[in-house]
Amino acid sequence: GPLLVVRWLLWPALFVAGSWCLLVSPGVAQRVLPSLWSTGGKGLDEVLPPRPKTRVQTFDLAVHAKYFTDHCGPESTGRASQKQCDETLRLAAEVVGRTEPVTPKQLLGMRDFLAELDAEKSSVDRVVGLFSFINVVWFVSVLGIVGTIGPCIAYLLGPLLLGCARALVKKVLAPAAKFMHENGIFEAMAYLASFAVAVQGLRYPEAQAEAGMMVGLTGGLFMIPCWAY
């Protein structure tokens, strides 16, 4: 009827109007809608101390760390100029293949970070450790118990659980889904979710503008299946 046609055109019109609002005043939608996921987070290279991959890199990085500790650190004896300290940070970054200079905290914390890496077991060692004789026997025993008791429980309680599941679907889930479908609640939720994805694309920093554009475009394209629904 006419109401169905109005509802069919109302949500796309609101979505398009919201998209124009994003263009004119993007901050309003960002304040109203919550962020779906974190954007612009720092990468591992920005958070973790520099990690050398070869012995030569380890030696060169240790030289720069020693110089920075002696001449630029808080307990340095012979203070170097700020330019020399900045150059040391830049050279330390070049050793490990970074484009941006490392921070003093990263360089000074390198030794403790490498000590933690040496103390940790590798993933392969942990997986191999799981396959000890006792663990294998324990795992087989658990499988045997489950294989014995599981069918008995399924035989005794299976009809009861199946009846409860059918009653739940028939009395609760199916009527609720029908009500939400007939009153356009699913439709509204779908349009709101796609618009929220489009807004999320605006939250990316300028350095990740391309990723933000793709996220916003994806949110806009979500309107097509919403309209088809």
- Range with top average pLDDT, 55-59, 78-82, 121-125: 55-59
- CA-CA-CA-CA dihedral for 74, 76, 82, 87, to nearest 10: -110
> Mind listing the pLDDT tens digit for each residue in 181-218?
888 889 889 999 999 999 988 888 776 778 888 888 89
- Residue 100 is predicted with a pLDDT of 78
- Return the SS3 of 66: helix
Q: Mean pLDDT in the chain?
A: 81
What is the enclosing helix (H) or strand (E) of 183?
A: none
What is the distance between the alpha carbons of residues 143 and 69, in angstroms, rounded to a whole number? Answer: 57
Please give the share of the chain, as a percent, with pLDDT higher than 70: 84
CB 203 within 8 A of CB 212: yes
How many CA atoms within 13 Å lie on the side-chain side of 121? 8
Q: How confident is the model at residue 173 (pLDDT cuts 50, 70, 90)?
A: very high
Q: Tell whether the model's pLDDT for residue 166 goes beyond 90.
A: yes
Q: How far apart are CA 64 and CA 150, in angstroms?
A: 63
Average pLDDT score over residue span 96-109: 80
Q: Could you please report the per-residue DSSP string of 6-34?
A: HHHHHHHHHHHHHHHHHHH-HHHHHHHSP
